[in-house]
Structure 1
Amino acid sequence: MKKICVLGAGSWGSALALSLAKKGYSITMWTLNQEQADKINTTKENINYLPGVLFPNNITLTTNIEDAVVDSKLIVLAVPSQAIRSVCKQIKPFVSKEQVLVDVAKGLEKGTGLRLSEVCKDELPENPYVALSGPSHAEEVAKDIPTTLVVASENLEIAQEVQDIFMSPKLRVYTNPDVVGVELGGALKNIIAFGAGICDGLGYGDNTKAALMTRGIREIARLGIALGADKSTFSGLSGIGDLIVTCTSMHSRNRRAGILIGQGKSLEETLEEVKMVVEGITATEVAHEVAKKMNIDMPITNAIYSVLYENKNANEVVANLMMRSKKHEMEEIVYDKLGF
């Protein structure tokens, strides 16, 4: 069996490991937590993230990152976005240039504003890079509920190879050469999903959420196109597709966290209750800074930033959004010529 390593043993890394294991690959998962590794190896269940889903015998947990990486065909980066650089530094002594990095995290690096492909290129410049994204809850992938994903790479041959590895009767995978768009769609939709949760926590309804999602995808596209993305990517799986699933499902930790904020919980209380990384919180901070530097209008992102980092009242922030200066719906196309 060909070996694939998954760095990270959270819900998404575990779900993808299960999917690959069912295709016959030998999967080595790496975690920092020895207790977690021992428990999963013994019970064959990741009780903290995917309770009730059993791991087959061709998935093994280790805390030795060298053992995980060496001789692996793919290196799946399934750690939180802010840990990508650190993990790449750790594996650098053990990686050969033929090994493909498959990033499944969705975020922007705090402090630099870099996309995760740029972070990987900083640390492992010789390794082929693929971003895997799309509307996909780990809980559903782990239970073989039909799901579609997209893999993005500047190298079509590498993208097709990764497509073949992940493709199954329950997991349909498309390719896309637009790495910038796929990465930004995945990272920025977490901001809008967090906002959708705030609206739910405030007791708003379907009308509000539909407006937020519709204007949110335009806002995502506006920044994405300014950063070099293809506008069509945002109408695809990693754009509107991922936005829909993350804004509407209770599987979404970003939406769940937003609900708690909307109900009046503090950020600290929210993170304590969710007990998982909420990528939308950091993404809001980074996107706010990037948009400000580039003079890109992102009113929803700015509004969520003001709630999270300036202690603004959420109801008042929504009222201010509603009462901004009047606009023509399509004026971005007419005047800014963004084409979306």
Structure 2
Amino acid sequence: MSELGKIEPFKRISVLGAGAWGTALALNAVRAGRDVVLWGRNAENLQMIGENRQLPAYLPDITFDHPLETTTDLTEAADADCILLVAPAQSTHKIAEDISFFVKRGTPVVLAAKGLEKGSQRMMSEVLSDYLPQAEAAVLSGPSFAADVARGLPTAVTIAAGSLPLAERLCASLSNASFRPYASTDLIGVQLGGALKNVLAIACGIVVGKQLGASAHAALMTRGFAEMQRLALKAGARPDTLMGLSGFGDVALSCSNALSRNFSFGFALGEGRDLSELMAPGAKLSEGAFTARVACQLAEKYGVEMPIAQAVADVLDRKDSIDEAVARLMSRPLRPESDHH
């Protein structure tokens, strides 16, 4: 691998999406010395960012250490050397379509959503290739909370691209004293790791919220991670990717921490909160709630078993109660632990 310090970084970076994660990544890019513009639709939030260096709606109690240039003009934001597309997975296609006329050929577009598209069952890089074929798709994923990155706390992630030189250049463009990206060319593994761990995080949240015990939590994380590996490997991922930051690392963070939106969503379900309330407009986004059924469809396509993902999907589709889903998992036929038997 090249020495990242000798690679010329991208100079002008635009970040599309001024929520918690987009704002945190924009701040991080400024810390890395880049010329950054942050695009969003909510003018009031952008004004708070620009004038007060705060975003109380998404990042409460944090005052940013650098000013951020903001805009509501998508044409202006699309005029950049590199674009970070930080929209929810189900909205990625819409923003990609909106900027398709303005993005220059060969511009890297780094996808930061951890999800799979409902209906089409596509990864975000596949969505991008349909709506923005002239762009170079890349993916940023790994164990990272927006609040930690916004505060400048030490964080490590994976950035995957179709070629190693591009992945390394993206790493060089976003790296700073508190943010360490690792380059990869495994777009499939990095995306599936990030998307599937959200489903597992919901399951773990349910177990903790329902007070099923630490033993159940540990067993679920372990078996759920095995499910993730089975599907990702069948889909073409590399084994080492799933053991890395965007796989095991993200599972370790998101499946045991209340700051994880997916874990918190599952925790609320486990406590008995109503699903319709948690999925209502304005509620905190849980990407895993949209990905669960898609994961099961992919598992069927590739001929792999994912009973934990299936249990989560059945609960979210109101086919099973949590108690019924747990009983179904515990009564599955006994089998060897390793898939190699």
TM-score for both structures, normalised by structure 2: 0.93
Is the counterpart of residue 195 in structure 1 residue 203 in structure 2? Answer: yes
After the TM superposition, which of the residue ranges 310-319 and 163-172 deviates more from structure 2?
310-319
Aligned position for 1:338: none
- Report the count of equivalent residues: 332
Unpaired runs of 5+ residues, structure 1, are 335-340
User: Which residue is equivalent to 1:47?
Assistant: 56
SS of equivalent residue, structure 2 residue 101? helix
> Aligned residue for 1:6?
15
Counterpart Cα distance in 2 of 1:209 and 1:53:
32
Shift of 1:35: 2.1
Mean alpha-carbon deviation: is it higher for 12-21 or for 46-55? 46-55
Matches of 1:238 and 1:30, distance apart in 2: 26
- Rounded Cα–Cα distance in structure 1 between residues aligned with 2:298 and 2:38: 34
Q: For residue 52 of structure 1, give the secondary structure of its aligned residue in structure 2.
A: coil
Q: After TM superposition, give the deviation of residue 3 of structure 1 in Å.
A: 2.0
What is the SS of the residue equivalent to 2:105?
coil
Deviations 1:151-185 (A, max 9, x none): 11121111000010111121111111111001000
Corresponding letter in the other structure for 2:243: S
Give the equivalent residue in structure 2 for 1:337: none
Q: Root-mean-square deviation (CA), in Å?
A: 1.6
The answer to whether the 8 A contact 2:27-2:66 is kept is no
Q: Which digits, 9 at most, give the CA deviation of each residue in 1:85-123, with x for residues without a partner? A: 110110011100132101111110111000001111111
| d(CA) in 1 for partners of 2:168, 2:107 | 15
SS in 1 for 2:151: coil
Q: 2:329 is matched with which residue?
A: 321
Distance 1:203 1:226 in 2: 34
Corresponding residue for 1:75? 83
Residue type at the aligned position of 1:121 = S
Q: How does 1:246-285 map to 2 (within 5 A)?
A: 246-272=254-280, 275-285=283-293
CA distance, structure 1, for counterparts of residue 64 and residue 280 of structure 2: 28
| Structure 2, gaps ≥5 residues long | 1-9
Query: Mapping of 1:121-270 within 5 angstroms?
Result: 121-270=129-278
Once residues 97 and 328 of structure 2 are traced to their aligned partners in structure 1, the CA distance between those partners, rounded to angstroms, is 44
Identify which of 277, 300, 307 aligns with 2:315.
307
Q: Secondary structure at the residue paired with 1:98?
A: coil
Q: Residues 33-68 of structure 1, C-alpha deviation per residue, up to 9 Å, x if partnerless?
A: 222222322222111111232345651221111111
Q: Which residue identity does 1:278 align to in structure 2?
A: S
Confirm or deny: 8 A CA contact 1:150 1:238 kept in the other structure.
yes
- 1:2 CA displacement: 3.0
Structure 2 residue corresponding to 1:107, chosen from 108, 115, 118? 115
Amino acid corresponding to residue 182 of structure 2 in structure 1: Y
- AA of the residue aligned to 2:340: I
**1:294 Cα deviation (Å)?**
3.1
Residue type at the aligned position of 1:5? S
**How far, CA to CA, are the matches of 2:46 and 2:24 in structure 1?**
16
Determine the C-alpha separation between the residues in 2 that align with 1:324 and 1:57. Answer: 54
- CA distance in 2: counterparts of 1:19 and 1:57, whole angstroms: 9
2 CA distance for matches of 1:211 and 1:87?
39
CA distance in 2, matches of 1:98, 1:240: 32
Deviation at residue 145 of structure 1 after TM alignment: 1.5
Q: 2:53 & 2:67 partners in 1: Cα distance? A: 10
TM-score by length of 1: 0.94
Change (3 A) 1:251 1:273: farther
| SS, match of residue 138 in structure 2 | strand
Please give the secondary structure, in 1, of the residue aligned with 2:279: helix
User: Which residue is equivalent to 2:340?
Assistant: 333
How far, CA to CA, are the matches of 1:103 and 1:325 in structure 2?
A: 39
What is the identity percentage for the equivalent residue pairs of Structure 1 and Structure 2? 37
CA distance in 2, matches of 1:311, 1:228: 31
> 4+ residue stretches of structure 1 with deviation over 4 A?
none
